[in-house]
């Protein structure tokens, strides 16, 4: 299982794993030494397809969706985030890489690091991104489309979703204030395409 601070924690920083080899007493000592609320949960076992890229991290899909004034949800960008070199987290800010996902669930041929370094295959597993298909990607998109209207006060949301061992999507979290538009733009930009002027007009209108 894993644990982390419930607040003021981002980018995979502060996520700590507790294995069966460690004693319960040690876990209790760790918990009592942290003067704030914690999130403690079981680890997720991901699908075999995404595990091939980096088995040590749960490699998650991040979808960015916009809720229109008419209540319709549009997904503008989806990327796959991956850990490297045995990392337990897949965040770019913690050394991970990301690649764009096409509408049918296929990965794009190139991935990027936080510094914009290009990779055409995973630097740890040496597997090429091109040709890999995200299992049940249609269900991922359906999940985002179904859930976003439940958060009507947040028009732009970036969703983190894992694919479990049964190839079913699992919602990890909804990023309401910082969805890292830069990584969407890097992998799939220009993000808003023909809707850019419309969106900017709404945001900056008086």
Complete domains list, the chain, with CATH = 1-43 (no CATH), 46-204 (3.30.470.20)
Instruction: Report d(CA 154, CA 95) in Å as an integer.
Output: 29
Selected residue with higher pLDDT from 40 and 204: 204
pLDDT at 121 over 90: yes
Of the listed ranges 17-21, 109-113, 129-133, 137-141, the one predicted with least confidence: 17-21
Using 50, 70 and 90 to split pLDDT, how confident is the model at 15? low
Q: Where are the alpha helices (DSSP H) in 1-136?
A: 24-33, 48-53
CA neighbours within 13 Å on the CB side: how many for 199? Answer: 14
CA angle in degrees (0–180, nearest 5) for 42-150-139: 60
Q: Mean pLDDT over residues 156-179, rounded?
A: 92
Identify the residue whose tokens are 């942290």: 34
Q: Exposure pattern of 117-154 as b/e (b: 16+ CB <10 Å)?
A: eebeebebeeeebeebebbbbebbbebbeeebeeeeee
pLDDT at 27 over 80: no
Q: Mean pLDDT over residues 161-185, rounded?
A: 91
pLDDT at 187 over 90: yes
Instruction: Report d(CA 201, CA 21) in Å as an integer.
Output: 56
Residue pair 169/136 in contact (Cβ under 8 Å)? The answer is: yes
What is the DSSP pairing of strand 118-119 with strand 107-113? Answer: antiparallel
């Amino acid at each position: 299982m894993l644990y982390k601070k419930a607040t003021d924690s981002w980018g995979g920083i502060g996520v700590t794993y507790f294995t069966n080899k460690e004693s319960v007493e040690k876990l209790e000592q760790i918990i009592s030494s942290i003067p704030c609320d914690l999130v403690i949960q079981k680890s997720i076992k991901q699908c075999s397809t995404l595990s091939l890229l980096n088995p040590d991290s749960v490699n998650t899909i991040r979808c960015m969706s916009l809720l229109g004034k008419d209540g319709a949800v549009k997904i503008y960008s989806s990327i796959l985030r991956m850990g490297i070199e045995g990392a337990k987290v897949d965040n770019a800010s913690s050394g991970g890489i990301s690649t764009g996902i096409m509408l049918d669930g296929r990965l794009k041929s190139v991935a990027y690091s936080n510094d914009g370094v290009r990779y055409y295959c995973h630097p740890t597993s040496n597997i090429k991104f091109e040709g890999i298909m995200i299992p049940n990607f249609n269900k991922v998109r359906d999940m985002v489309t179904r859930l976003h209207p439940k958060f009507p006060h947040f028009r732009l949301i970036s969703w983190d979703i894992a694919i479990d061992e049964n190839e079913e999507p699992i919602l990890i979290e909804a990023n309401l204030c910082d969805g890292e538009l830069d990584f969407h733009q890097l992998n799939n930009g220009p993000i808003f395409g023909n809707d850019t002027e419309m969106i900017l007009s709404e945001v900056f209108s008086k």
